[in-house]
Amino acid sequence: MKKHIPNLITLLNLFCGCLAVLFAVHGLFEMVALFVFLGIFFDFFDGFAARMLKVQSELGLQLDSLADMVTSGVVPGVVMYKLLLMATTGGWSSSMFTATESGFHTSVFTVSSVIPFLGFIITLASGYRLAKFNIDENQTESFIGVPTPANALLIISLPLILVYQNYPVLNDLILNQWFLLAVTALSAFLLNANLPLFALKFKTWNFKDNAIRYIFLILCIVLITTLKYLAVPIIIVVYVLLSMFSKLAIKKA
């Protein structure tokens, strides 16, 4: 019976992803964030439960990637599609955060109607990364490229910044199609870049062995407390920079 517990937790991740997709389609980004957060929570604890119960399996590995493909692959693709749709049709309202589809229906063959679909490049890149992860034996202790859950948090933070922080300069930037396309391209690149990144897995709790992790977690708390949702993109940048610094420090040692 216990061997099914981690898989059940993984299926809860998949269920959260399915709900997040539905909310993303309707532009309800607060609910998208809630269920993506829940999905990532379950994604963390399914592996933890499998290790604790000593029931790790190939089935669990494959199921985990399939769930991540929805929660951390399809969802950010849909969110970026909606943001690009807003940027190209002007369908954003601070009081009612939904995108109008009229631009797509009335001008199917225009360039502006095709641009939003480029947001799904994130989904394609996520799928490729997850497939590589499943066959890569070098990513047991660390990651090569930004993990899909971290990338998903980056993408869903953009509409949350619009809704809850509502700075005119940031709004104009986030709803600029060229900025969004640049974020899409950077996201796809970082997901599959040959960039070693540390994992937040603690084998022991002492500071010496986990200094980089403790520093990162403290910075996360400080940034989130002071900057709220705006902290998420900054945290991703800090994560990459700390990983690069850690790698250079190991080489010099």
pLDDT in tens, 9-30: 999 999 999 999 999 999 999 9
Q: What angle do CA 60, 14, 5 make, to 5 degrees?
A: 45
Average pLDDT over residues 30-38: 96
Burial 78-98 (b: 16+ CB within 10 A, else e): bbbbbbbbbbbbebbeeeebe
Q: How far apart are CA 5 and CA 63, in angstroms?
A: 13
Examine the pLDDT at 94 and tell me if it is beyond 70. Answer: no
Give the count of beta carbons closer than 10 Å to the beta carbon of residue 203.
8
The fraction of the chain above a pLDDT of 90, given in percent, is 57
pLDDT value for 235 = 95
Entry pTM: 0.86
Q: How far apart are CA 16 and CA 144, in angstroms?
A: 26
* pLDDT band per the 50, 70, 90 thresholds, residue 56: confident
* pLDDT band per the 50, 70, 90 thresholds, residue 202: low
Could you tell me which CATH class the domain 2-194 is placed in? mainly alpha
Average pLDDT over residues 61-68: 91
| Domain range summary for the chain, segments of one domain joined by + | 2-194, 195-253
pLDDT value for 73 = 97
